[in-house]
Amino acid sequence: MSLPLPSLDHEPADDLAALCKAAGDPLRLQVLRALANDSFGVLELAQIFAIGQSGMSHHLKVLAQAGLLATRREGNAVFYRRALPGGALHAALLEELDRLPVPDNLQARIRAVHGQRAEASREFFARMASNFQAQQDLIASLAQYRDSLLSLLDALPLTRQATALEVGPGDGAFLPELARRFAQVSALDNSPAMLELARQRCEREGLGNVQLQLADALQQPHSPVDCVVLNMVLHHFAAPAEAMRQLSPLINSGGHLLITELCSHNQAWAREACGDLWLGFEQDDLARWAEAAGLRVGESLYLGLKNGFQIQVRHFAKP
């Protein structure tokens, strides 16, 4: 008696074969390596790997069809990032890949793309300082999330000697709140024009315990503080996951990180109008990046705004 022919229908083994096939290419493995903690558009990846856009699109399609990549549309652009592992082989592949050193030239090319993103952000704030408040009001202003942020801040177990660092204070509107609650406050902003607005506010309000510094918060060494605050800043960073890892050492053990951010949105005009590099963030992404930076996820508050944007106010604790 002859055995029945194997079914030609889609089988779970097909998925495994697609995964093996997609991973069976050194360039595609390097793409996955580059996407460990970042997401890139096809043009950026073509630049990083010095190949044509259509060649890169093909590789990305193979990786996405095998379930190794996920895509995120940001306005007209599509960003690629690693998909969360759906099985043991997928998880083992990423684990093994992350143990390999990233070649120097790949690191340098990734840094160049980050540099281009950061430069676009710096240029925006140099141009827009005179119109800053109006730009902020287009999306989300401090008045809309101040109370929520303060309710999280005031629930933290902080002593009277506690110190704070605000990254990207902009025109310094939140500095008076920090100055009232902390013994010493420092604020780092890499835009001279924005820092000047913050300086004027500190002078107007007589904030004697606030120290302002013109610096890129991701490059400037700073002694650790008890609370680091970023309001609407992370979406201006070239590599937000990496930024959280760089900021983590600035927090004392037992200290806190407070982040106010937009939730993921699709309003691409924010790139042009407000210089946003990222159209908000998924709540899970922030949590994952914080955990990878050695922080524990704390309380979160979510606010819907009338203009359709959603804000997330997040607390992360340094164990």
Ligand X SMILES: C[S@@+](CC[C@H](N)C(=O)[O-])C[C@H]1O[C@@H](n2cnc3c(N)ncnc32)[C@H](O)[C@@H]1O
Binding site for ligand X (CB under 6 A): 121, 125, 136, 142, 167-170, 173, 188-191, 194, 216-218, 231-233, 236
Side chain identity at residue 43, one-letter code: L
Which residue, 44 or 171, has its beta carbon nearer to ligand X? Answer: 171
Which residue, 23 or 142, has its beta carbon nearer to ligand X? Answer: 142
Smallest distance, ligand X to C-beta of residue 233, A: 4
DSSP symbol at 9? S
Which residue, 65 or 246, has its beta carbon nearer to ligand X? Answer: 246
Q: What tokens were used for 45?
A: 């990846």
Smallest distance, ligand X to C-beta of residue 16, A: 42
Which residue, 212 or 233, has its beta carbon nearer to ligand X? Answer: 233
Which residue, 45 or 167, has its beta carbon nearer to ligand X? Answer: 167
Whole-Å CA distances, 291 to 156, 245, 298: 19, 9, 11
- Alpha carbon 232 to chain centroid, angstroms: 11
Which residue, 31 or 170, has its beta carbon nearer to ligand X? Answer: 170
Smallest distance, ligand X to C-beta of residue 192, A: 9
Whole-Å CA distances, 105 to 34, 75, 83: 12, 31, 25
Smallest distance, ligand X to C-beta of residue 217, A: 4
Compute the distance between CA of residue 243 and CA of residue 123 in angstroms, rounded to an integer: 19
Which residue, 62 or 259, has its beta carbon nearer to ligand X? Answer: 259
Q: What tokens were used for 92?
A: 């083992």
Side chain identity at residue 165, one-letter code: L
Smallest distance, ligand X to C-beta of residue 182, A: 16
Smallest distance, ligand X to C-beta of residue 171, A: 6
Whole-Å CA distances, 271 to 76, 108, 235, 267, 268: 11, 26, 10, 8, 6
Q: What tokens were used for 189?
A: 């902003």
Smallest distance, ligand X to C-beta of residue 167, A: 6
Return all residues near 204 (Cβ < 8 A) that are at least 6 apart.
none
Smallest distance, ligand X to C-beta of residue 92, A: 36
Which residue, 21 or 204, has its beta carbon nearer to ligand X? Answer: 204
Nearest to 68 by CA among 40, 28, 106, 101: 28
* Residue 86, number of CB atoms within 10 A of its CB: 12
DSSP symbol at 35? T
Please, are residues 313 and 301 in contact by the beta-carbon 8 Å criterion? yes
CB-based burial label for 132 (10 Å; 0-12, 13-18, 19+): middle
